[in-house]
């Protein structure tokens, strides 16, 4: 008897557009379930996404948060105070800065990051634009020649942008890595680990083109998805000011006088914020960034719900339908955080307020599956923990530092549009003003003023 999980863990054959140079372009998400997939996935999961490593990118997150705050402040002041800000570009840029730093280990300047952003967007949109080329490659190479040329040019441009960054890292490693490590800004990057990686079966290291493919997956896997969810969550905070207020009060409750940096919610405080956690979960439930996870293939005939699924059939899991199933979720289209608190849906313990935090809702579906925005099982997104941390950290700080309001006469519109992810059809615009009363900070200042006057 074969385990169902294993039966569903395979991917469809890699499309022809994955084979753009002499070597096949392996990435984790499109690899067959086998030794190559295992070695690549283990490298990412243990070298970069392990909680202890994730912690070491704390300074990177702080740096990016500052960039994000500064860009929002400066746009909101551009045409006089409280100018409405369209936030999605700021979110995307911030996520690029972060993922690019984790990938290449260097704080690149704005011009370099924009260059990577542009070429990666072309690659991302190419998944749809060039998918027709995979239909019958031998034929499309003749009848859709110009599209093939365009596609190959995109790949070339991508290599021209990313290979110099890979070589710079290689050079650093060869020349002076031990000195570089003494620098407190040093981070172990994804590229560093890929340069070290030995492919067990082929008994060789990865070549530059293969590293480009893996870096591209890393950057695109973590930027669009996270910035899309971030935008949906902030849109709901604007639409429902009472939720925003509750969140703000929760954060205020943990920001203490003795905090060195009262301006920022430090990431080790995030675990004390159950309402924030519920907000992120409800964001994923109500607005999953993908309606489907990546396609899976069954490795042999399997019975499921009275149907026989034949070997090699492609399976798409309808993530959004699961998250909106009225048999599982009460009033599923409503944005309600209470459903994640103790008793909210009868089973999961996730206490709030004075009560201690109970067992946290399991988004990985290891006990039971009620929603699966990251997939489940062997092919689950390896970056669940990182993505949750990024969202909690940025949402907490954006809500703590600013008050978010709808633009008068321009209410938040939650209509959707399918791009690489499911995005807001009308991107969020908000009036974003710095919080004047930041809990204890203001109280302390007030007290000091009263004592001296």
Q: Which residues are annotated as a binding site for heme?
A: 381
Site string for ligand HEM, 353-372 (x = CB under 6 A): --------------------
- The distance of closest approach from Cβ of residue 380 to ligand HEM in the complex, given in angstroms and rounded to an integer, is 6
- CA 319 – CA 321 distance, rounded (Å): 6
Residues contacting residue 383 through CB under 8 Å, at least 6 positions apart: 49, 221, 222
Of 10, 26, 41, 144, which one interacts with ligand HEM (CB under 6 A)?
41
Site string for ligand HEM, 381-420 (x = CB under 6 A): xxx--xx---------------------------------
- The distance of closest approach from Cβ of residue 160 to ligand HEM in the complex, given in angstroms and rounded to an integer, is 23
| Residue 446: how many other CB atoms lie within 10 Å | 11
Q: Which stretch binds ligand HEM (CB under 6 A): 84-92, 107-115, 289-297, 301-309?
A: 289-297
- The distance of closest approach from Cβ of residue 405 to ligand HEM in the complex, given in angstroms and rounded to an integer, is 26
- CA 428 – CA 417 distance, rounded (Å): 13
Of 84, 105, 283, 289, which one interacts with ligand HEM (CB under 6 A)?
289
How far is residue 55 from each of residues 164, 200, 267, 363, measured CA to CA in Å? 28, 29, 9, 21
Between 117 and 403, CB nearer to ligand HEM: 117
Between 9 and 412, CB nearer to ligand HEM: 9
Q: Confirm or reject binding of residue 285 to ligand HEM (CB under 6 A).
A: no
- The distance of closest approach from Cβ of residue 391 to ligand HEM in the complex, given in angstroms and rounded to an integer, is 7
Q: Which stretch binds ligand HEM (CB under 6 A): 115-123, 231-239, 253-261, 378-386?
A: 378-386
Site string for ligand HEM, 210-239 (x = CB under 6 A): -------xx--xx--xx--x----------
Q: Confirm or reject binding of residue 344 to ligand HEM (CB under 6 A).
A: no
Nearest Cα neighbor of 30 from 295, 211, 221, 209 is: 295
Print burial letters for 282-301: b (CB count within 10 Å at least 16), e (below 16): bbbbbbbbbbebeebbbbee
Q: Which stretch binds ligand HEM (CB under 6 A): 111-119, 140-148, 285-293, 325-333?
A: 285-293
- The distance of closest approach from Cβ of residue 374 to ligand HEM in the complex, given in angstroms and rounded to an integer, is 5
- CA 284 – CA 175 distance, rounded (Å): 44
Q: Mind giving me the DSSP string for 274-290?
A: HHHHHHHHHHHHHS-S-
- The distance of closest approach from Cβ of residue 34 to ligand HEM in the complex, given in angstroms and rounded to an integer, is 11
Cα atoms found within 13 Å of the Cα of residue 92, Cβ hemisphere only: 16
Q: Confirm or reject binding of residue 379 to ligand HEM (CB under 6 A).
A: yes
Between 318 and 437, CB nearer to ligand HEM: 318
Q: Confirm or reject binding of residue 294 to ligand HEM (CB under 6 A).
A: yes
- The distance of closest approach from Cβ of residue 123 to ligand HEM in the complex, given in angstroms and rounded to an integer, is 15
- CA 316 – CA 292 distance, rounded (Å): 6
**Which H/E stretch holds residue 433?**
strand 429-434
Q: Confirm or reject binding of residue 105 to ligand HEM (CB under 6 A).
A: no
- CA 370 – CA 70 distance, rounded (Å): 38
Helix, strand, coil in percent for the chain, rounding step 5: 55, 10, 35
Contacts 24+ apart (CB under 8 A), 45-51: 45/382, 47/188, 47/190, 47/193, 48/102, 48/188, 48/190, 48/193, 49/382, 49/383, 49/385, 49/386, 51/385
Q: Which residues bind ligand HEM (CB under 6 A)?
A: 28-29, 41, 217-218, 221-222, 225-226, 229, 289-290, 293-294, 373-375, 379-383, 386-387
């Amino acid at each position: 008897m074969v385990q169902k999980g294993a039966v569903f863990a395979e991917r469809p054959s890699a499309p022809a557009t994955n084979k753009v140079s002499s070597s096949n372009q392996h990435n984790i998400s499109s690899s067959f379930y086998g030794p190559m997939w295992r070695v690549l996935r283990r490298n990412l999961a243990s070298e970069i996404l392990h909680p202890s490593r994730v912690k070491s990118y704390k300074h990177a997150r702080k740096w990016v948060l500052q960039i994000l705050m500064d860009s929002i402040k400066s746009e909101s002041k551009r045409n006089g105070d409280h100018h409405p800000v369209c936030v999605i570009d700021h979110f995307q840029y911030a996520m690029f800065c972060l993922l690019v730093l984790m990938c290449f280990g260097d704080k690149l300047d704005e011009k370099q990051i924009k260059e990577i952003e542009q070429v990666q967007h072309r690659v991302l949109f190419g998944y749809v634009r060039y998918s027709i080329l995979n239909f019958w490659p031998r034929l499309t190479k003749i009848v859709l020649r110009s599209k093939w040329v365009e596609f190959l040019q995109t790949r070339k441009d991508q290599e021209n942008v990313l290979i110099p960054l890979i070589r710079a890292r290689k050079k650093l490693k060869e020349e002076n890595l031990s000195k570089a490590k003494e620098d407190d800004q040093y981070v172990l990057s994804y590229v560093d680990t890929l340069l070290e990686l030995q492919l067990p079966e082929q008994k060789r290291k990865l070549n530059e083109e293969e590293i480009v493919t893996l870096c591209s997956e890393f950057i695109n896997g973590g930027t669009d998805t996270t910035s899309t969810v971030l935008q949906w969550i902030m849109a709901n905070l604007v639409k429902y000011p009472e939720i925003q207020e509750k969140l703000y009060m929760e954060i205020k409750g943990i920001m203490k006088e003795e905090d060195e940096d009262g301006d920022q919610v430090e990431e080790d405080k995030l675990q004390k914020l159950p309402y924030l956690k519920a907000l992120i979960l409800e964001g994923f439930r109500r607005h999953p960034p993908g309606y489907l996870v990546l396609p899976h293939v069954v490795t042999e005939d399997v019975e499921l719900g009275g149907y026989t699924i034949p070997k090699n059939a492609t399976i798409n899991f309808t993530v959004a339908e699961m998250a909106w199933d009225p048999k599982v979720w009460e009033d599923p289209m409503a944005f309600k955080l209470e459903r994640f608190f103790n008793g909210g849906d009868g089973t999961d313990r996730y206490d709030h307020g004075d009560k201690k935090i109970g067992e946290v809702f399991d988004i990985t579906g290891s006990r039971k599956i009620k929603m699966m925005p990251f997939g489940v099982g062997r092919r689950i997104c390896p970056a669940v923990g990182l993505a949750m941390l990024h969202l909690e950290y940025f949402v907490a700080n954006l809500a703590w530092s600013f008050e978010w309001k709808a633009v008068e006469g321009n209410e938040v519109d939650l209509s959707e549009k399918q791009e690489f992810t499911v995005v807001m059809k009308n991107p969020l615009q908000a009036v974003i003003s710095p919080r004047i009363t930041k809990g204890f900070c203001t109280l302390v200042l007030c007290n000091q003023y009263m004592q001296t006057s």
